[in-house]
Amino acid sequence: MIGQREQLLEWLREPDVLDEDLRRDILEALLRPPRPRRMTYEEFLAWADEDTLAEWVDGEVVIYSPASLKHQRIIAFLAQVMSAYVDSQNLGLVILAPFQMKLAGSGREPDLMFVATEHLDRLRETYLDGPADLVVEVASPESIGRDRGEKFYEYAQAGIPEYWLVDPEAEQAEFYVLDERGRYRTVFPDAEGIYRSRTIEGFWLREGWLWKPPRVLDVLRELGIL
């Protein structure tokens, strides 16, 4: 590895050897901080900071890509509306990434989590020690496999009662609720496109709001908290 690094540095010193795109890729690779291959969860928490885009799975670090603008708009909208509702009803706490959720064999970083009042004792300074009551993941082309595959089964096994998977590119939201067998079943919005949460008492949203978020104040009036 040291020899490869020296070779890359040598190429960078020769202005005519590389085109601009390749030069940029090499610089990014050289400047990227080293990533430990395996570590304990405690070591991971000490290694990662608030700017580190990573999760911990079975002792290994998984790096993921920065979020898109669509992703950020959806999460910002949900966080504002859900937080205002939860606070007004004194139901618990809504937490945005980056914040870890420690499960049996992983440390995931959901885009949004709801933790009910009766489970706030699971909160630690830098992570949630156990499952949230509701998890929202906004998928990207890079993450859709994990969100619908690994995380889907992990979250069910961990006993997370409700899981939302939002796909901005397909403009499709999937709502899952844990059944008596510990498996997720799909719950569909009603004929008017309204989905009612099974975990946040009284909370509902129109699926169409996710793709074209209205003014938050207008939504809060519809929810009856203004």
Alpha helix (H) ranges present in 117-201? Answer: 144-148, 150-158
Alpha helix (H) ranges present in 32-168? Answer: 41-47, 69-89, 144-148, 150-158
Residue 106 belongs to a domain? yes
Average pLDDT score over residue span 94-105: 91
pLDDT of residue 75: 94
Residue 146 belongs to a domain? yes
Number of domains comprising the chain: 2
Looking at the fold, whether 136 and 189 belong to one and the same domain comes out as yes
Three-state DSSP class for 185? strand
Residue 55 belongs to a domain? no
Distance, CA of 98 to CA of 204 (rounded, Å)? 25
Domain limits at 132?
Answer: 69-222
Looking at the fold, whether 92 and 197 belong to one and the same domain comes out as yes
Looking at the fold, whether 14 and 75 belong to one and the same domain comes out as no
Torsion angles phi and psi, residue 202, rounded to 5:
85, -5
| CATH number, residue 169 | 3.90.1570.10
Residue 54 belongs to a domain? no
Q: What would the pLDDT profile of 14-37 be if each residue is shown by its tens digit?
A: 555 556 666 566 556 555 555 556
Looking at the fold, whether 73 and 42 belong to one and the same domain comes out as no
Looking at the fold, whether 94 and 147 belong to one and the same domain comes out as yes
Looking at the fold, whether 36 and 83 belong to one and the same domain comes out as no
* Residue 176 token pair: 């899952």
Query: What burial letters (b/e) apply to 176-214, b meaning 16+ CB within 10 Å?
Result: bebeeeeebeeeebeeeeebebbbbeebebebebbeebe
Looking at the fold, whether 110 and 188 belong to one and the same domain comes out as yes
Q: Which of 66-70, 180-184, 191-195 has the lowest mean pLDDT?
A: 66-70
Looking at the fold, whether 81 and 154 belong to one and the same domain comes out as yes
Looking at the fold, whether 142 and 194 belong to one and the same domain comes out as yes
Q: Is the pTM of this model over 0.85?
A: no
* Residue 125 token pair: 């300074």
Question: Omega before 66 cis (within 30°)?
Answer: no
Instruction: Check pLDDT > 60 for residue 1.
Output: no
